Amino acid sequence: MKASVRGVLSAPMWGALLIGGWMAAGSAMAADLPKATQEMLAKMKLDPATLVGLNEEVENIPAAVLEGAKKEKRVDISGSMDVREFNVMTQSFKERYPFLDVRYSSGDQFSRNIRPLIAYREGRVLVDIVEGLGVNLSDYKQAGALLKLDGIPNSANVPAEMNDKDGYYVGPRIRHWCMTYNTNKVKVDELPKTWDDVVNMPQLRNGRMGLGNRPNNFMIMLWGVKGPEWSNDFMNKLFNVVKPQLRKEGADALVSLVAAGEMDISFPTASYRTAQSVAKGAPISWWCPTPVPVSSSAMVIMNKSPHPNAAKLYINWFLSKEGQIAQNYADGSPPIHRDLQQPVFLLYPEQTINREAAPRTPQLLEEEMPKVAKLWDTYWLGGKERGPQTVSTGLMAVNKAGGEIKFQGGNDAMETLAVNASRTKISIAGKEAKRGDLKAGMSCKISYGGGAQGEVQEIACE
């Protein structure tokens, strides 16, 4: 999320929610905070009551972890946040812990998530913390690549459904996925209050709604809460009774199409993208049927990390009020902290606060997304087999001497497909190659789904 969203929050909605004069009202508390935190809170003008316990949460780290971090002197983090925004967010952390050299890298999902796991399997640890894990989480667990997150008191600030019951990951932030609607074309009383209303309200039919091919951003969450039977019935009615416009565009484009009047409502869309368009004058708003689809990725510490205490120190800070407010300040992300589910930190608070949620946990995504994707494709394609697909991704695993590869395909579904010695066309760095030349970690363009079932047609690696 870019800085333009902060402009939305600074407009009338933001101003009406804030209680000004933080520095004056909280001067005694301010004296105990890092200068970067003081400046951040002064600019945000937060209600002092929001800040109660801020220092205590940061200082609650076990003494052994703090002393260990001082000896390790460094922490390496791989994440999804923009580097500039990360630097803004961590100013307070660096001020509190000047003895730590904080090194951060960002990139595509393959660089962030898959490359560290492949390196671990080879006996190397590239980073201490990986942030933004999704469908790859179980692969990390199976490889024994995760360190238990004990000694991190602030993990208790995260809701149970976003916190691994086995203690190997914690959710860093939340995203809400609902609907964007054109305020010139849709009255509020025409909007669905529940997801059952989506398929049962006649006024939503005849192409008024646009549907994106993104079951990973809402259907998997409903599947997790409502179950397979309800989900199958919902998809059947959605595709065969409601008959929305089936759009090939991405989630961001769905927002623009509603603003342009090409459809009255579209889903699934993110609140912050809608708010960005509103800030530019688009006649749209954002709406959530119940339950509200909520996603969260995972933040983990690599097993055999050379800086485990420094990693725990960072995560404990990140999950504190100071860390979560800093994240919201830097990139607009809604905090995952239990006590910060407040209007001031959310773009459309009336759509999410005190509403039943349908969470997408990493386990749900990993275990159930293949089932959801298969059923979704059946409806999306009208009962036809999915045609050829081409994805640019990395090889998660290469098995059977190159005869089988694992990679992330469309809609966040993991694919495990055969590589045929004669039928599959293979090239590496532009030269013809054999399947035995394929190695885990290679970046490749993979074409599949257009020939023999369960088989790759072409794979071109760098």
The CATH code of the domain that includes 128 is 3.40.190.10
371 falls within a domain: no
Could you tell me what percent of the chain has a pLDDT over 90? Answer: 66
Q: What is the mean pLDDT of residues 165-171?
A: 91
What phi and psi values does residue 351 have, to the nearest 5 degrees? -90, -10
In this prediction, residue 280 carries a pLDDT of 93
In this prediction, residue 325 carries a pLDDT of 96
Three-state DSSP class for 186?
coil
Please indicate, yes or no, whether residues 98 and 148 belong to a single structural domain of this protein.
yes
Please indicate, yes or no, whether residues 168 and 301 belong to a single structural domain of this protein.
yes
Q: Is the pLDDT of residue 446 over 80?
A: yes
In this prediction, residue 30 carries a pLDDT of 56
Q: Which domain holds residue 456?
A: 386-461
Q: Which of 251, 270, 290 is the last residue of a domain?
A: 290
Q: How far apart are the two ends of the chain, measured CA to CA in Å?
A: 31
Question: Is the previous residue joined to 268 through a cis bond, with omega within 30 degrees of 0?
Answer: yes
Q: Is the pLDDT of residue 299 over 70?
A: yes
Q: Which of 238, 272, 290 is the last residue of a domain?
A: 290
Structural Rg of the chain based on CA atoms: 23
Q: Is the pLDDT of residue 435 over 90?
A: yes
In this prediction, residue 259 carries a pLDDT of 96
Report whether 251 contacts 270 (CB < 8 A). Answer: yes
In this prediction, residue 235 carries a pLDDT of 97
Kindly list the distances between the CA atom of residue 382 and the CA atoms of 196, 199, 235, 318, 379, in Å, as whole numbers in the listed order: 22, 18, 12, 45, 5
Please indicate, yes or no, whether residues 162 and 307 belong to a single structural domain of this protein.
yes
365 falls within a domain: no
In this prediction, residue 18 carries a pLDDT of 32
374 falls within a domain: no
How many CB atoms sit inside 10 A of residue 125's CB? Answer: 16
Three-state DSSP class for 81?
coil
Please indicate, yes or no, whether residues 304 and 161 belong to a single structural domain of this protein.
yes
11 falls within a domain: no
In this prediction, residue 31 carries a pLDDT of 57
366 falls within a domain: no
Give the pLDDT band (50/70/90) at residue 12: very low
Kindly list the distances between the CA atom of residue 449 and the CA atoms of 111, 302, 363, 441, in Å, as whole numbers in the listed order: 25, 35, 26, 22
Three-state DSSP class for 99?
coil
Q: Is the pLDDT of residue 25 over 60?
A: no
Please indicate, yes or no, whether residues 284 and 312 belong to a single structural domain of this protein.
no
* Residue range 72-124, pLDDT digits in tens: 999 999 998 889 999 999 999 999 999 999 999 998 878 888 899 999 999 99
Q: Which of 290, 325, 340 is the last residue of a domain?
A: 290
Report whether 372 contacts 215 (CB < 8 A). Answer: yes
Highest mean pLDDT among 92-101, 151-160, 384-393: 92-101
Helix (H) or strand (E) holding 268: strand 265-270
Please indicate, yes or no, whether residues 59 and 168 belong to a single structural domain of this protein.
yes
Report whether 72 contacts 66 (CB < 8 A). Answer: no
Q: What is the mean pLDDT of residues 179-198?
A: 97
3 falls within a domain: no
Report whether 419 contacts 403 (CB < 8 A). Answer: yes
Please indicate, yes or no, whether residues 169 and 265 belong to a single structural domain of this protein.
no
Please indicate, yes or no, whether residues 164 and 69 belong to a single structural domain of this protein.
yes
* Residue range 344-380, pLDDT digits in tens: 998 899 999 889 999 998 778 878 988 998 899 899 9
Give the pLDDT band (50/70/90) at residue 9: very low
363 falls within a domain: no
> Measured between alpha carbons, how far is 393 from 444 in angstroms, rounded to an integer?
6
Q: What is the mean pLDDT of residues 396-406?
A: 92
Residue 58 tokens, joined:
């940061």
Please indicate, yes or no, whether residues 59 and 163 belong to a single structural domain of this protein.
yes
Please indicate, yes or no, whether residues 61 and 170 belong to a single structural domain of this protein.
yes
How many CB atoms sit inside 10 A of residue 12's CB? Answer: 8
Structurally, the chain folds into a number of domains equal to 3
Cα torsion angle, 444, 448, 450, 452, sign: positive
In this prediction, residue 331 carries a pLDDT of 84
Question: pTM score > 0.95 for this model?
Answer: no
* Residue range 403-419, pLDDT digits in tens: 999 988 876 677 889 99
9 falls within a domain: no
Please indicate, yes or no, whether residues 90 and 161 belong to a single structural domain of this protein.
yes
In this prediction, residue 17 carries a pLDDT of 31
Please indicate, yes or no, whether residues 418 and 454 belong to a single structural domain of this protein.
yes
In this prediction, residue 49 carries a pLDDT of 80
